[in-house]
């Protein structure tokens, strides 16, 4: 079975995604358009979106062309902290990065819906070889500090992954995952 991405595969849609993500950072405060360029998370998002746009535009030739972005990539590392979001990773609109200095890794095989929130120190990776569609995260998934998702795994929509959790199994919509290995949090019973 082949998995179809819910995200646009048109190269220049990545630029509209980028603009909407910068607007999330600015949050209706006009002065932030001046200061958002000093936000490390903004540089991570800009770097990824430009890289992804180039890949969708040039496909397999992008590896050679991306050398042109090398000076900006190096500057981004200084301004935004360590990150390795692969240009083949398919991330929907609304990517938000809070503390990139803690490090970020997203595998090339990841397919992620809209509204991904990376708190910092996060890894969305693989344990063994995977095909496209084997590592998927739904819409509005939030990873707490140092949370890790290791595929092949399918994470539903509106899932929250607690700080330090290591997810190695599928999760349904709306679950809160905590622990190592991550398990759904038990509902709080206030009748005791």
- Read off the pLDDT of residues 44-92 as tens digits, 9 standing for 90 and up: 898 899 889 999 999 989 888 888 777 877 776 676 667 889 999 999 9
- At 6, the pLDDT band (50, 70, 90 cuts) reads confident
Look up the CATH architecture of domain 13-184.
3 Solenoid (2.160)
Q: What letter would DSSP give residue 37? A: G
Q: What is the mean pLDDT of residues 117-122?
A: 95
What is the Cα–Cα distance from 62 to 50, expressed in whole angstroms?
Answer: 11
Q: Is the pLDDT of residue 1 over 80?
A: no
pLDDT of residue 132: 79
Q: What is the mean pLDDT of the chain?
A: 89
Place of tokens 């509204």: 115
For 166, phi then psi, to 5°, come to: -120, 110
The structural domains of the chain, with segments of one domain joined by +, span 13-184
- At 156, the pLDDT band (50, 70, 90 cuts) reads very high
- Which pTM does this prediction carry? 0.88
For 79-82, the CB contacts below 8 A with 24+ separation are 79/38, 79/40, 79/43, 80/40, 80/41, 80/42, 80/43, 80/44, 80/47, 81/40, 81/44
pLDDT of residue 79: 67
Highest mean pLDDT among 7-11, 70-74, 174-178: 174-178
């Amino acid at each position: 079975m082949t998995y179809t991405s819910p995200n646009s595969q048109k190269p220049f849609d990545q630029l509209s995604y980028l603009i909407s993500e910068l607007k999330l950072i600015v949050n209706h405060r006009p002065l932030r358009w001046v200061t958002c360029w000093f936000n490390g998370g903004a540089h991570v998002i800009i770097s990824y979106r430009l890289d992804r746009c180039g890949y969708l535009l040039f496909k397999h030739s992008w590896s050679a062309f991306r050398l042109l972005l090398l000076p900006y990539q190096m500057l981004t590392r200084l301004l935004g902290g360590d990150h390795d979001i692969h240009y083949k990773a398919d991330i929907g609109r609304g990517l938000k990065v809070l503390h990139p200095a803690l490090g970020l890794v997203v595998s090339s095989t990841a397919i992620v819906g809209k509204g991904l929130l990376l708190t910092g120190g996060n890894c969305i990776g693989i344990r063994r070889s995977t095909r496209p569609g084997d590592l998927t995260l739904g819409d509005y998934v939030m990873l707490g500090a140092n949370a890790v998702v290791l595929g092949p795994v399918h994470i539903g929509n509106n899932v929250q992954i607690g700080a330090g959790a290591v997810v190695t199994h599928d999760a349904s919509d709306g679950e809160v995952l905590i622990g190592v290995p991550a398990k759904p949090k038990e509902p709080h019973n206030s009748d005791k």
